[in-house]
Amino acid sequence: KMCETSFSLGLQERMQRLQELTDFTESCQADLKGLFEALGWSQELDSHAFQMEVCPYDPNHTVPQDRMEKHKASCQLSKMGYSKEEQAEMFDPSVYYEKANIPSVNMDKDTFHQVILQTPENAPHMKSTGLHTPSDASTDLPDVPQNHKRALCDLTVADRLAIYDHVIQQASQQSAKRESNEDLYVDLVAKLKKDEEQSGPKSHLEVLAEMRDYRRRRQSYRVKNVHITKKSYTEVIREVIDIHSGELGRIWQEVKDEEFKASQRSSHRSHV
């Protein structure tokens, strides 16, 4: 009898604990239902609302479509051997270039490898001084470093110098092209403002002359821009001034020739 009584008390205690757990679960479910109703959400899971995609770096990863870009960036870094701690310290530097008027150079894997393979040609002064030989370049081409630590560990001095020269060259070309475009734009705007201040409509010959002058200036800028990528800012500005001076002298000469021809025609008509 004592064993039956003990078993009955144990069963009753367990049933009481089960009832308490059931009451707590129902209370939580009621709270969640009220929260969903207040927010206007549905508790039913819509499988069509979450379109899943397979990660291109690991086919075992299936991620919602709206989170795929963030996952790919993290998964790619993990496949390249970067730890979670290293990834947490990384940041996207593009935000610093959005409103800054400075050139930026993006280097993909193919360009990166091409630059490294041409290391002896891109660093002739280092080669001539004997600071490194062609064998100093990386034999097993690494991936593009994503932090400073990898750049120091994975790349040789020759590799880093070649990349530095490549970035400087690309940035110089961007700056020279932007300066030429800005000068041409300012020159064209000044011409348009001057034309607006003139009274009376333009003749057909005047419009043709302006179009001819504008094409000549653009052609001169294009020709000169090929040779300014390795020149200083002062040399570039000097050449731009020479171009403007030459064009201005040509325009003045054409105006004088037209005035001379007009005077010849008028004098010829007066004699007749």
Q: How many domains does the chain have?
A: 3
Residue 58 near residue 80 (C-beta atoms within 8 A): no
Same domain as 245, residue 214: yes
Q: Is residue 17 in some structural domain?
A: no
Element (H, E) at 4: helix 2-39
User: Is residue 232 classed as helix, strand or coil in its secondary structure?
Assistant: coil
Q: Residues 91-128: pLDDT tens digits?
A: 777 777 777 677 778 888 888 888 888 876 444 544 44
Q: Is residue 206 in some structural domain?
A: yes
Q: Is residue 104 in some structural domain?
A: no
Q: Residues 154-163: pLDDT tens digits?
A: 888 888 888 8
Q: Is residue 194 in some structural domain?
A: no
Share in percent of the chain as helix, strand, coil (round to 5)? 70, 0, 25
Q: Is residue 100 in some structural domain?
A: no
Full residue range of the structural domain in which residue 146 is found:
109-166
Residue 68 near residue 56 (C-beta atoms within 8 A): no
pTM passes above 0.75 = no
Beta pairing, strands 52-54 & 62-64: antiparallel
Q: Is the dihedral of CA 54, 55, 57, 58 positive or negative?
A: negative
As beta bridge partners, residue 63 has: 53
| Site of tokens 């003139």 | 198
Q: Residues 20-62: pLDDT tens digits?
A: 999 999 999 999 888 888 888 777 765 555 688 899 999 899 9
**Three-state SS letters, 109-157:** HHHHHHHHHCHHHHCHHHHHCCCCCHHHCCCCCCCCCCCHHHHHHHCCH
In degrees to the nearest 10, what's the CA dihedral of 162, 239, 233, 165? 0
